[in-house]
A and B are shown apart, each in its own frame.
Chain A
Amino acid sequence: MVEPLIKVQDLSMQFLRKAGLFGRGGQRVRALNGLSLHVRAGETLGVVGESGCGKSTLARCVLRLLQPTAGSIRFDDVDLLALNDEDMRRMRRRMQLVLQNPFSSLNPRMNGFELVAEPLRAHRSMPRKEMRDLVVDLLTEVGLSAEFLSRHPHQLSGGQAQRIALARALALNPDLIILDEPTSALDVSVQAQIINLLVRLQRQRGLTYLFITHDLSVVQHISDRIAVMYLGKIVEETSSEDIFANPRHPYTQALLSSTPSPDPAAKRQRIILPGTVPSAANPPPGCAFHTRCPQVMEMCRARIPHSRLIAEGHRVSCHLYEASA
């Protein structure tokens, strides 16, 4: 069995909400609450969840842009949380982050050349001519011509800017790219272009992706496996095919049935969840989903369900599957 490229175990991240002007606050916000997952080299793990579930916090913890409160993160069998800052900085060459809005992540004063060359300059030194050739190669790889060397972000469309962000991420030849809602700000026709590009880049370079999104239809298209998050935890994890064919967690089932389908033949049973996601500052006792779960049982209010393997590669955290197992 190959060791996974990324292995996250029992990760917790608590933020201390500072007391406000009127003395309120001072609460602990549990953004991640004992989360475990792994990503094998060359595969795509899709992480889906709604706003506030902690999926972006997860991305930042894996890159150690945030210092987790507890748990462990191993990258290529190295304990990231044990590294000093200099070693971590070196390690980050191998892990890149691409965000939803390229216009806020790209420096508006830099042109295409400077944007893509910046990570190269930070980690390597090379003659300018060689640097330019490398940048042109990277631009070509993401489907942009050399004329983009001199363009600034405001002269780019959303799709072109996201391509620049990708070229920048590829510059240091990383093993892992964390994609945080990379297509959510794009129009459908452009989204398809970027998704195809991501799939092609992965095939050509053997990249590993951690793909974070709220969009189930996008994530199933690109992922090998999918992990569904709710209030700082993974509630279900299985293959991309299985999540649609055989969703087991009531939250996954509701999420699937809530995603509008353009297929007029797909008139399905709608599961409409009541209420909203509880605050991470004050998560409910027992199973965090019990306040909205259509199949809630007495024990769900009191006991936290454990993650259980219910079939090959299919894990669920739900009391429904504890009784029968």
Chain B
Amino acid sequence: MTPILTIENLQVEFSTPFGAVHAIRGIDFSLARGDILGLVGETGCGKSVTGRSIMRLLDENAKVSAGRILFDGMDLLQLTDTEMRRIRGNRIAMIFQDPATSLNPLFTIGEQIKDVLRAHRGSGRGGAKALAIELLADVGLPDPAQMMSVYPHQLSGGQQQRAMIALSLAAEPDVIIADEPTTALDVTIQAQILDLLRRLQRERSISVIFITHDLGIVAETCQQVVVLYAGRVAEKGAVETILARPQHPYTRGLLAALPRPGSRGNDLRVIRGNVPSGFERIVGCAFAPRCDYVMDICRAQNPAFSVIDSTHHSACHLHEMPANG
């Protein structure tokens, strides 16, 4: 089956007063229909910029310098603004970390959802209301008929995020990009929202790109995972394989750095040093300065993807070594 969304060699630069920042330096991955794909990495790895590039919502000073984003036979990067407006919200929707800033504070939840329903589905007045109530019920908001006349500030953080999800579903998009949708929420509320996303995936077979820094969320929510480091893909593949048998030294380091039950009394494994700033020109593998297994070739040449198995790829020179079994 063809993927619903494919990203090929995406490169994004930001111009700043201090010079160009290469936020994304060539990213490739594809999202299969009906999958939840986790896009993970630490601050500055380019995960949110990737999400915004797909939506074409990058800041003014950002520029896509290369690559293609293929969606339903189109390259989104080649569309006119008018054409893109028809895709955005309609066929690809986005959910942000802070729902309070993405919901309009001046309109009730009901008005906002009905607006989308009328614009995207051409529903009439009565039809839109019934559909909106149905959507609010579907995302688990209590007393959905009454919720229609409530303003965003009257909702808790978890309820706002549910309303945001209802809003993004209103246009029946093919793809939802969720950018850290639970990071601002408490764990018990996060559990509710993750449960909702899993159920919506089951019932509506939506395809989701789930941007997060939390490997635990990836393990519990996603089928596929793409691990980013300094604007490139370090490792990608099926979640179960990658979390059980990570191959890239960065993925291994990230997993080992997590405290877990039983880790008390031992030092946590540390990835030494810091993430590159984006200003410096990176030659070779970006992770080389922090890697425990660094070799001469790593400082000179960017590693290509090695196929670990058909669903698991890792960009590391170690995999090219004959003795590395």
Contact = CB atoms under 8 A, between A and B. Distances in A.
A261 B268 contact: no
Q: Most chain-A Cβ atoms within 10 A of its Cβ — which of B158, B188, B255?
A: B188
Contacts of A157: 274
Contacts of A154: none
B187 interface: yes
Given A189-B271, A240-B264, A264 B243 contact: yes
Interface string A182-226: 000001111111011001000000000000001011101111000
A272 B192 contact: yes
A151 B175 CA distance: 45
* Interface size range of chain A in the complex: 35 or more
Interface residues of B, number: 45
A188 B187 CA distance: 17
Given A50-B188, A272-B192, A196 B258 contact: no
Interface string B268-301: 1111001100000000000000000000000000
Contact of B217 (A254, A260, A277): A260
A198 to B, nearest CB: 11
A178 B158 CA distance: 29
Given A189-B253, A217-B258, A272 B195 contact: yes
A143 to B, nearest CB: 11
Contacts of B43: 158, 187
B42 A188 contact: yes
Contact of B259 (A159, A221, A264, A272): A221
Interface stretch (B4-12, B23-31, B208-216): B208-216
A263 interface: yes
Contacts of B189: 50, 276
A188 B217 contact: no
B119 interface: no
Contacts of B259: 192, 195, 217-218, 220-222
A222 B261 CA distance: 11
Interface string A251-286: 000110111111111100010111111000000000
A51 B267 contact: no
Given A195-B259, A218-B259, A263 B219 contact: yes
9 contacts: A199-B267, A220-B261, A221-B264, A255-B188, A259-B216, A260-B219, A260-B220, A264-B244, A272-B188
Given A187-B43, A192-B269, A199-B267, 9 more contacts: A50-B187, A187-B213, A190-B274, A192-B259, A196-B270, A217-B259, A254-B188, A262-B219, A273-B192
Interface of B: 42-43, 142, 156, 158-159, 186-192, 194-195, 213-221, 239-240, 243-244, 253-255, 257-261, 263-264, 267-271, 274-275
Interface of A: 50-51, 157-159, 187-193, 195-196, 199, 214, 216-218, 220-223, 240-241, 244, 254-255, 257-266, 270, 272-277, 292
